[in-house]
């Protein structure tokens, strides 16, 4: 057993996001290309002997205790294995909250991996992913990381080759968009052209960054931009400043732009900050390291 762990929980973007249909159980069938980016929350875990699970965050509006997905992740594994010890989980958030970047899901994924290591539970990555889907559809991917095709409700994952080297500018306006809102603004029957997910996969397999970028699309974008035009404004600014393509991630409102040049991205970041369109701006890159959630400091 380990008494302390330091973990990094990485954010994701959606290079492509399509919604196929609404299922009888109320969930939606999706096809998405998921990609990890080099932006992460820091998580410290300490084993305790009092049997209590505690969570602490640096943001006052992020819930602690049972309302936190990371807390539920720890309880899930500790209860299953009958572990009587407790754990204190300190989360320092850097990933924007309610932003379409899987911030809560990736924290939960990191805690699943961390509890498994801390208490020597012996779960394989696949077994952790099977448990992760009980917490949320994005959690299995956040354990897997890298480049992947996600289908079903997002839990059916297929590893894809690494995307070509590129740089990612992330901009989140000062609004939040729930997944519920995104679906309410989506007219499935009225979609004339769906994102070309198969074409995106071929371009990734071919290592063609420019073809890949040209096909990046998010089926939620039109409905969300109608309600929040600032998202479209951020997209336009990024592309004016050299992004190969700028796309909303997940259910939004975060926008990311793909660049083939770091200096060009840095200049676009300065312009975006100066514009005041985005409350949060990160200039980063693709994170393609293989494996599960890292415990690198």
From CA 166, how far away is CA 189, in angstroms rounded?
Answer: 35
From 18, 41, 107, 138, active-site residue: 138
Q: How far is CA 30 from CA 100, 152, 157, 166, 292, in A?
A: 15, 6, 11, 26, 23
Q: pLDDT 10s per residue in the chain (297 long)?
A: 899 999 999 999 999 999 998 888 878 899 999 999 999 999 999 999 999 999 999 998 888 889 999 999 999 999 999 999 999 999 999 999 889 999 999 999 999 999 999 999 999 999 999 999 999 999 999 999 999 999 998 889 999 999 999 999 999 999 988 888 888 888 887 888 899 999 999 999 999 999 999 999 999 999 999 999 999 999 999 999 999 999 999 999 999 999 999 999 999 999 999 999 999 999 999 998 654 444 443
pLDDT digits (tens, 9 = 90+) for 134-177: 999 999 999 999 999 999 988 899 999 999 999 999 999 999 88
138 has catalytic annotation: yes
Whole-model pTM: value is 0.93
Residue 195 in contact with residue 219, Cβ under 8 Å? yes
Structure tokens that stand for 67 in this block: 């309302």
pLDDT for res 208: 98
Residue 95 in contact with residue 68, Cβ under 8 Å? no
From 12, 215, 235, 241, active-site residue: 12
pLDDT for res 24: 81
64 has catalytic annotation: no
Q: Which residues are CB-neighbours of 61 under 8 A, at least 6 positions away?
A: 97
């Amino acid at each position: 057993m380990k008494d302390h762990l330091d973990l990094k929980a990485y954010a994701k973007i959606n290079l492509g996001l399509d919604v196929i249909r609404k299922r009888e159980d109320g969930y939606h069938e999706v096809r998405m290309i998921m990609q990890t980016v080099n932006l992460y929350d820091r998580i410290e875990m300490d084993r305790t002997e009092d049997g209590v699970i505690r969570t602490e965050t640096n943001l006052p509006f992020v819930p602690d205790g049972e309302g936190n997905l990371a807390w539920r992740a720890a309880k899930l594994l500790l209860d299953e294995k009958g572990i009587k010890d407790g754990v204190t989980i300190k989360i320092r958030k850097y990933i924007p909250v309610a932003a379409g970047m899987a911030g809560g899901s990736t924290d939960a994924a990191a805690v699943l991996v961390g509890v498994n290591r801390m208490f020597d539970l012996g779960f394989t990555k696949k077994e952790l992913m099977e448990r992760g889907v009980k917490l949320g559809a994005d959690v299995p991917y956040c354990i897997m990381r890298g480049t992947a095709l996600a289908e079903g409700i997002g839990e059916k994952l297929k590893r894809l080759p690494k995307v070509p080297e590129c740089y990612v500018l992330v901009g989140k306006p000062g609004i939040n968009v729930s997944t519920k809102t995104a679906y309410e603004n989506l007219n499935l029957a009225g979609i004339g052209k769906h994102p070309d997910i198969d074409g995106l996969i071929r371009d990734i397999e071919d290592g063609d960054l420019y073809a890949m970028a040209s096909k990046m699309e998010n089926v939620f974008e039109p409905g969300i931009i109608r309600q929040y035009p600032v998202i479209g404004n951020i997209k336009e600014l990024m592309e004016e400043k050299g992004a190969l393509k700028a796309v909303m991630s997940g259910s939004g409102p975060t926008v990311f732009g793909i660049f083939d040049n770091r200096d060009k991205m840095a200049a676009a970041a300065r312009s975006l900050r100066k514009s005041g369109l985005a409350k949060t701006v990160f200039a980063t890159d693709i994170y393609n390291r293989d494996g599960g959630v890292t415990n690198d400091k």
